[in-house]
Structure formats: structure tokens, C-alpha cells
Amino acid sequence: MSLQNEDFIRYTTLAMASATEQEILRLREQLDRYNYAYYVLDDPLVPDAEYDRLFASLQQYESKHPGLVTIDSPTQRVGDKPLDSFSQVVHRVPMLSLNNAFDEEDMGAFDKRIRERLGIEDVVEYACEPKLDGIAVSLIYRDARLVQGSTRGDGSTGEDITLNVRTIPSVPLRLRGDGFPGTLEVRGEVYMPRAGFERLNRKARARGDKTFANPRNAAAGSLRQLSPRVTAQRPLEFCCYGIGIYEQGELPSSHSAIMANLREWGFRTNREAALAQGIEQCLVYHQQLAVKRDNLPYAIDGVVYKVNKIEQQEGLGFISRAPRWAIAYKFPAQEEITRLLDVEYQVGRTGAVTPVARLEPVFVGGVTVSNASLHNFDEVGRLGLEIGDHVVVRRAGDVIPQVAQVVLERRPADTRPVLTPEVCPVCGSPLERDEGEAILRCSGRLSCSAQQKESIKHFVSRKAMDIEGLGDKLVEQLVDEGLVERVSDIYKLQRAQLLDLERTGEKSADNILAAIEASMETTLPRFLYALGIREVGEATALALYQYYGSLDKIIVADKESLQEVPDIGAVVAGHIILFFQASHNLEVIRQLQDLGVHWPDRPAQAARNTPLEGRTFVLTGTFEAFGRDEARRRLQTLGARVAGSVSAKTTDLVAGPGAGSKLAKAQQLGIGILDESELIALFASLE
């Protein structure tokens, strides 16, 4: 049961309080101070763990002494029982909207009207602040305690959301400091920060629930929950922008002074707020904020300008729906409605297939947009998208435009479904999709022109075919000039072709050709790795070689057989099968062999009798006789597994100079430890 007012006064008098009461009051004051530093000053005083510890301690005290629980205790933000509906609240001072400006001409006209009505020629001082894209609310405090929260509604009448706003951490339940009036109405915006919005939608997608279209909709939906406990779970924030009722106290002389007081009393104010002397400084502020807009942690849709002096505001007065002394200079709209004409498919450099919306051109976010990202085919399904639909398109700054939602009430009768492709739209190879993943990928790694640059760069890299001199820039040149379309074309390059390239002299050309010639004699593990099969790294390539001994046997291996290879599971086996099922990939492999790329095969049976099979090594520190990569390769060739971290499964740790935490953990677990000389001796005894 909550305390009555006289009880509250009694319990806040420390001199008369018991030890338990004093501890409860101390914890509340400490938590209030930490809340103020975190939510208002953006300057946390303690780690979250310390705050949680104190909060739990207060909860424990209050659970043992329920008669000492007050409505403004930090523990009382968790939400009450659900409401049947919201009751109505009549605003004593109407919550008016603002007139809008859309360009500098509108702003100039606004400033001119202000000066004419005030009868002055001097510049007017304006208070400037971002226009948060949230929900306007009113908070009423009496004797420093929050007694009512309500929505703006129609400006005259709103909804009572007291229980819901009490759950928002940045809404003070009790005012801080002193000097506040007996009755104070604080007005501001409830909004959802971008990070919280993304987190909320991510959780909704994971549950298969409908996601919110934008942070404003998310804030509105969260604030108007009939169950305050649901609101309490949503990442809402409150930022004040002014006052309504101000009784039993002296009103400050300017808007900026009022905001400074509100900040001292425990309210969050916008850190981007500033004062501008005259219209020119207002326009500069607008330009500066437009640049910052997309990097702010919250969504804004413009700038609000208010005449700063309260005396001048009172002289200017109001029109029917808006104050004469304020205006909102809006940014270009970041969302618009247009029609989806078609969905096409783009293949990225890594083989990811992305659906792209082709739209009726629409002006949004300051540019004309005719294409928008759909991310993946799960997103198409989530949106319920059909070709011909009217859709909401969102664009923020330099972010790629995206389709945010379908306007179902405007769906035409002749829409048609968006089909998911089965083969790559570029090369015709089968598409693959991992279980639990939303992305489709082309399996034609070697033959798909969309992936050619990346596949070639990987093929020539040091751990693959090791063609020295063929760096990324030269590979891009070769592709752009049409000299190399697939990896087999590397072995057809002529000296004259290389000399025609920019920054390639005779010596460089000769060195590149020599490196290409040398790479023809390779090993099967290197070749397998160079092919770029998904999730087939060096270790997996070596394991395949050791198990099968030849490329022909790997090509025809079935899924069950592949899963007998150490460290190859069902997913990787599926990638390998799909890669070799693509006729385009096999064609490129045959071309490479015909051009002279070769390697020695190894009998599969001999490979399975490797002496270090069943042992797991971890390498740490530095090595002088050979590099860590060479040590790993030689261990794997002898049948060992080489892991990156020490665990209970580790059998041997090889420690060079500079070994640190891995060595300590191995000693703790009693794992056998070798130095470099002992590793060399081991190789000599087994090879």
C-alpha cells in the first residue's frame, strides 16, 4: 500500500526515521542521482552492474517493508495491471501544433512577421532545437511529484497515459533540486532511439512477429499499450521542449532559461539546442543539423525555432492552432508512397542474390528514387510484397533506399507474386541457402561473371595458387580490360597484353608470367582452397585431400561420404556437392588442367594412416625455423588437427617465444607442451 502524503513527509525526515527507513531513502536518492547522470547528463557515474545491485537491494528492502513503498520510488517503473481503456484528459493550456516552413523563403517570411508584430528592426533571438520524430506528451507535477501524463490528442483533449509514462526511465517521478513551482506541466516528446528500434524489430523478426515501420510508429504503439508492463519493456525515452502550466512560482524570462531549469530539475533536454541571433544564424543552424541528422542516435524531421524571450512570446500570442512565435522548418521527407513496378535480382561479388525493387520514380530524402533494396527474400515475404503494390519507400541521407511497408488498402486487383529464383540470374548455376539463413547464393563461383573479380583475387592469393605480382588492382585491370573473365584465362595471358596495361613494365610482365608458370605445379589442397568453395578453407581442403587423395574422387563424393571426413558436417558437405554439380565450375577446372595446372595425387588409404591422427595441436608465440602457417600445414599433413584456442580437447601446445595466456591455460589443464626444437624433432621422426 502506498504512503499518504503526510506519511511521505514523515518518512523523508531523516532525523525521525528508523535505520531501515534511512537506508531505503539513501538507496532511492542514490538511484535517482545515477538515473539523472545517465539519462539527463549522458554521463554515467557507475557501471550497470553497480546500478543493478543497488536497485535489487532497494527492491529487497521494499518487499520486506511494503508500507514504506512510495509511488515515486525507482522500483515503481515496472508497470501496473492492464487498463480496459484510456480515460480522457482535458488540457488546461491547449497543446498547439506548429506552422511549418519548407524552404529559406518561408523562414524569411516568418522572421519578417515576427519583427513587424513586435515593431522592431533589430535581430530577434531564437531558441533552436531538433524536431524529434516522436509523440508529444504532457507531464504534470504537483509538489515535485509526477501526478499525470497524457498524450497531445487533438490539442484540447488527450488520453491519460500516466501509468505508461511512469515506466520510462528518463521521466522523473520526482523533481530534483529546488526552486520549482507548486504545479508544473512539462511538455516534450516520447521517442524511440534508433538502436532501441533496431533491437525491438530484430527481436520481433526472431519471433516471427510483425515489425514496426519506423521509430515514431514504434514509440506511438509502445506508449499506447493498455498494459504498462508491455510499455516498460520498450526502449522509450523522453526529451522535454517546453512547459504548459506554471503555478506558484516565478516564470523565467526566456525559453532557454526555462530549459536550463528543467534540466536541473531532472529532465532530459536536447544537447543540440542552441541560440541564434537573427534569421541568418537560424539558417546556418538548419544546415549544420541537416549534416548531423543521419548520425544522431534518434530520428528528427526538422528544426523548431522559438522566439526566446517570454515577454515577446506573450506579445505575439497565438492564432487558432499554433503560436505565432514558433515554427518548424522541416527537412525533405524521408518516406514517400510509390508503386512497385517489378522485382529484379542482383548478384553481388560474393554470390549473394539480392532482390531489388524497381519503382515508379518518387522524390524522397532530397533525391529522385527509382530503385530500392529489399535485402533478401525473407524480407519480401515479411512485407507480403506483390508486384504492382503501392509501397512506402524510406531514404535517410546516403543510406540505400528501402521498401519499408506495403500500403495494403491501395493494393490493385492485378498484382502478382514475387517469385524466388532457383538459379543464378547471371550464370544459371543453382542457388544455395544455408538453413536458418535468409540469403541465397550462387554456387557458380568460378563461372559467374558477377563474382569474377573476387574469385580471381582469391584464386591467385598467397595461400591459394600464390601467383606473385597479381595483386588486387592488377586483377581489376585485367577484368576491366576484358583480358580475364574466369580464372583459367590467367594461364592464357600474353606478354604483350600485360605490357599494354597501365604501370606494367617489361620486368614486371616477365615476373608475372614466371609466377603464373610456377603456379601450374601445385598441390591438391592448395587447388581446392583456390576454387573458393564456400566454407572450404585450408584445413578442410587438406582434410579432403588426405581422405580422398584425388580430385576425381572428391567430385563424385556423396553427402554421407563427405561427412566422414574430419570436421566436415552436413552444411559444408552440401556446399561441396553443389559446387561440383555446377557444370560451369567443372568446365573451368577442366580448362585449368588442359592449360597445364597439375598436382600429385596421394593414395587415400595411406592418407588415413597418418601418424598424428587424433591429436589436436595449438600453436602460440613466434617461430624462427618456419612460420606458423608452415607449421600448421606440416602438422595437418601428418594427420593432426590444428585449433586456434586451448580447450580440454587439446593434446599438444607448441609454444614459441612470446607465448601468453594459451600457455598458461595449457599448463593449468596439464596439456603436453613442446617448444620449436621439439616440434622440429617430431617432424624429423615422422616424415
Please compute the mean of the pLDDT values over residues 130-157 and round it to a whole number. 91
What secondary structure does DSSP assign to 616-649, as a single string?
A: EEEEES--SSS-HHHHHHHHHHTT-EEESS--TT
544-592 residue pLDDT tens: 988 888 999 999 999 888 988 877 888 889 889 988 988 888 999 999 9
410-446 residue pLDDT tens: 899 999 999 889 888 888 888 888 766 778 888 887 8
Q: pLDDT category, 13, cuts 50, 70, 90?
A: very low
Confidence check: pLDDT of 38 > 80: no
What secondary structure does DSSP assign to 280-297, as a single string?
A: HHHHHHHHHHHHHGGGSS
The reply to whether 64 belongs to the active site is no
Q: Rounded CA gap, 654 and 667, in Å?
A: 12
What integer pLDDT is reported at residue 15 of this predicted model? Answer: 44
Model confidence, pTM: 0.51
Superfamily covering domain 335-417:
Nucleic acid-binding proteins (2.40.50.140)
Confidence check: pLDDT of 78 > 70: no
According to the CATH classification, is domain 5-77 in 1.10.287.610? yes
357-384 residue pLDDT tens: 999 998 877 678 899 888 888 888 888 9
What integer pLDDT is reported at residue 584 of this predicted model? Answer: 83
Judge contact between 514 and 493, C-beta under 8 A.
no
What integer pLDDT is reported at residue 12 of this predicted model? Answer: 47
Q: Which of 131, 306, 309, 457 is catalytic?
A: 131
Q: Express as a percent the part of the chain with pLDDT over 70.
A: 92
The C-alpha cell at 198 is: 533496431
According to the CATH classification, is domain 610-686 in 3.40.50.10190? yes
- At which residue does the C-alpha cell 587415400 appear? 604
Q: Rounded CA gap, 380 and 386, in Å?
A: 9
Delimit the domains of the chain by residue range.
5-77, 100-278+296-326, 335-417, 449-604, 610-686
Q: Which fold has domain 449-604?
A: DNA polymerase; domain 1 (1.10.150)
Q: pLDDT category, 396, cuts 50, 70, 90?
A: low
Distances (CA, A) of 583 to 105, 448, 531, 571: 64, 12, 14, 21
CATH code given to domain 100-278+296-326: 3.30.470.30
